[in-house]
Chains A and B, each alone.
Chain A
Amino acid sequence: MTAETIQAPRRRRKTKLLPYLLSLPALLVCVGILIPFVTAVYYSMLRFRLNLPAMKGFIWFDNYINFLSDSEFWNTVRVSLLYTGLTVGVELVFGLAIAMLLQKQTRFNNLASILLLLPLMTAPALAALMWKLMTNPNFGVLSYLVQLAGVSDFKWASAPSTALFTVVLVDVWVYTPFIMILLLAGLRSLPRQPFEAAALDGVPRRFVFFRITLPMLAPYMITATLFRLLDSIQQFDIIYSMTQGGPGNTLLVFQVRSYLEFYQYTNVAKSAALLVILWAITYALSNIFIKQWLKLRERARGSA
């Protein structure tokens, strides 16, 4: 008998269906996301204001084209990128420094790293309120300390010149521990031999840091940075709680601006177009991120 003459066995139907059945709820949630997502893309190509329903109409890419000559739009791009660059940059340097300080597994270091989790677990909106209380011009302890240091007239979030600094500070306070904790786990999982060999050979520390530590830690740094970039470019909670995008237009990042566009000016289409642009940016970033993240994840699983 040859292989061709034998019929393929009947499959166990139930087993084949089971995975689909199990993932059905997750699939429904997916659909639940995709419908409003497609709707948003559609809205972004309309002339659509809630207060002027009669004007509703399809205008293709006019909303996007209008952005090109809209200085407000470019202000949003500039502020968003500035905010993202500043927060992620500071957090990465700061987080790496702290991780290296706490690298050695001592009881004190472990306790410190646990305590550093607390800001990260504070709701960003509430963290913004906490800092708002501390920077209150009348009684805020930080306002007092700044004054004590000789800087008068420092208005924190209420002055255009210092508002960005203030929200970046809050973001750094909340999210530096995130980078720190990832890099700490990364540092502690590195093989020891290269470092021991370098110590034996008396290789200078700076050389060890730039030629051994950084390259080996790179996958963790890239993953953590992309993770933060993705969150930071979409920041809403901290800025909205602290200043609602003000003073003026100083802090109108993408999401805050589209929120105001929607609720204050009821311009649904413009708001949607802004969000679609933001989505395109995050989508590109998240594709890079997911690749890096899968690599790391495989490594973590492999060593388990």
Chain B
Amino acid sequence: MAQVEIRNIHKGFKSGAVLSDISLTAETGEIVVVFGPSGAGKTVLLRLIAGVEEPDEGAIFLQGRDVADAPPEARGLGMAFQNFALFPHMSAYDNIASALTARERSPAIIKAKVDNVAKLLKISHVMQHAPRELSNGQKQRTALARALVADPRILLLDDPLRNVDAKLRYEMRLELPSLLKASGSTVLYVTQDYKEAMALGDKIAVLLEGGFVQIATPTEVYRAPATLGVARLFGDPTINVIPAEPSLRDGRSVFDLGGVSLSLPARYAAVAGKSCMLGIRPESIIVEEAPSAESFPVEVVAITPLNEKSVLLLRTYDGREILAAEAGVEQSSRRIGAACARLDADAVLVFDAASGRRIAPVQS
């Protein structure tokens, strides 16, 4: 039985439709990341599940039960809000305990549970502080502790790392997966950071303009994005997009890049003659000093370190600018100036130019 099942949800506000025909399921213990740019309707979706908004159409089932008539307090969820939503007039301890007092009578059990979750999240020392006396990181952990403390079967996390600084976000990204797995809850996690989505999700549901474009594992979303839009959202630097209309040569689709004809793998033979968009991840462009069989000449215009990578801005002879990425930031051998580049042709993604949908290769 799915812990969370959303069937054909529609939700609109005065300003227009926010979600249309949304369906999603999450199994027990699964972490489903709802990923999308801001304004895509992610938060609205969580609020519908939490019961603080009502859908215009469609149904929501939690643990197999239709919750259309259940107010938020009867849905047995835990939720962490993006803006933390701590109760300003209560101590951190009371904030966390508030998720227990309605259901648990014994003060001893409440205290044990709060202490436990505080220890887990390393905030035991600030339990008596009021929210305004907490740092942003402590606020975020308190909000998380409040969502976790009652061991809810379903946990809704609305971009919990959005309002914390980069260092803390990095730490939490490492800490959260084990924390969430240990809780055993089914988690719906909203974020607009693709790295967070990749790091945390068993499954990523990509929400664009009010509808799910793809629901798949992180690897699948990255390797086989459903649309060009999805491909653009995952990966930093973003994917290179090259419009092309490949022609057929020797049973292979061939396209032109930087004055050189490059061929796609045989399984893409069918795309010849179609108007396409080729998606080439920066890391599948290999830059070399010496020319080789399928390499094409480029000029290295700029080299920028990004996280653990070096990003190279390349200009082909026909003036197109593309990005390449390679591991390591201290590659002293890289110089601005002329070089050669070649593609890992297996990693090229092909999209239909008109619809933006990925064209799947035909396995022979």
Q: Do chains A and B touch in the complex (CB under 8 A)?
A: yes
**What is the interface of chain A, defined by CB distance below 8 A to chain B?**
1, 3, 6-12, 14-15
Q: Which of B3-40 contact A (CB under 8 A)?
A: 7-8, 10, 20-21
Residue of B nearest to A13 (CB): B69
Contact A15 B71 (CB under 8 A): yes
When distances are taken between beta carbons in the complex, the residues of chain A under 8 Å from B301 are: none
Residue of B nearest to A14 (CB): B71
Partner of B8, one of A3, A12, A14, A15: A3
Instruction: Kindly list 20 other residue pairs between chains A and B, CB separation below 8 angstroms, not including A8-B57, A9-B59, A10-B68.
Output: A1-B8, A3-B10, A3-B20, A3-B21, A3-B57, A6-B8, A6-B57, A6-B58, A7-B57, A8-B56, A9-B54, A9-B55, A9-B57, A9-B68, A11-B54, A12-B54, A12-B68, A12-B70, A12-B71, A14-B71
20 contacts across the A-B interface (CB closer than 8 A): A1-B8, A3-B8, A3-B20, A3-B21, A3-B57, A6-B7, A6-B8, A6-B58, A6-B59, A8-B56, A9-B54, A9-B57, A9-B58, A9-B59, A9-B68, A10-B68, A11-B54, A12-B54, A12-B68, A14-B71
When distances are taken between beta carbons in the complex, the residues of chain B under 8 Å from A11 are: 54
Q: Encode B39-58 as 1/0 by CB contact (under 8 A) with A.
A: 00000000000000011111
A10 to B55, CA, bound (A): 10
A10 to B54, CA, bound (A): 10
A82 to B: closest C-beta gap in Å: 48
A1 to B57, CA, bound (A): 13
A7 to B59, CA, bound (A): 9
B58 to A: closest C-beta gap in Å: 6
A3 to B9, CA, bound (A): 9
When distances are taken between beta carbons in the complex, the residues of chain B under 8 Å from A3 are: 8, 10, 20-21, 57
B55 to A: closest C-beta gap in Å: 6
When distances are taken between beta carbons in the complex, the residues of chain A under 8 Å from B69 are: 10, 12
**What is the interface of chain B, defined by CB distance below 8 A to chain A?**
7-8, 10, 20-21, 54-59, 68-71
Most buried by A among B10, B57, B59: B57
Residue of B nearest to A11 (CB): B54
When distances are taken between beta carbons in the complex, the residues of chain A under 8 Å from B71 are: 12, 14-15
B18 to A: closest C-beta gap in Å: 14
A139 to B209, CA, bound (A): 82
A7 to B7, CA, bound (A): 11
Most buried by A among B7, B58, B71: B58
When distances are taken between beta carbons in the complex, the residues of chain B under 8 Å from A10 are: 68-69
When distances are taken between beta carbons in the complex, the residues of chain B under 8 Å from A6 are: 7-8, 57-59
B67 to A: closest C-beta gap in Å: 9
A6 to B22, CA, bound (A): 12
Residue of B nearest to A9 (CB): B68
A11 to B56, CA, bound (A): 10
A6 to B60, CA, bound (A): 13
A6 to B55, CA, bound (A): 12
A10 to B: closest C-beta gap in Å: 5
Residue of A nearest to B67 (CB): A9
Q: What 9 A-B pairs come out closest when comparing CB atoms?
A: A9-B68, A10-B68, A6-B8, A6-B57, A12-B69, A8-B57, A6-B58, A9-B55, A9-B59
A167 to B100, CA, bound (A): 63
B51 to A: closest C-beta gap in Å: 9
Residue of A nearest to B7 (CB): A6
Residue of B nearest to A4 (CB): B57
B322 to A: closest C-beta gap in Å: 42
A303 to B: closest C-beta gap in Å: 19
A230 to B: closest C-beta gap in Å: 33
When distances are taken between beta carbons in the complex, the residues of chain B under 8 Å from A1 are: 8
Residue of A nearest to B66 (CB): A9
A79 to B59, CA, bound (A): 67
When distances are taken between beta carbons in the complex, the residues of chain A under 8 Å from B70 are: 12
When distances are taken between beta carbons in the complex, the residues of chain A under 8 Å from B58 are: 6, 9
When distances are taken between beta carbons in the complex, the residues of chain B under 8 Å from A15 are: 71
A10 to B59, CA, bound (A): 10
A12 to B56, CA, bound (A): 12
When distances are taken between beta carbons in the complex, the residues of chain A under 8 Å from B57 are: 3, 6-9
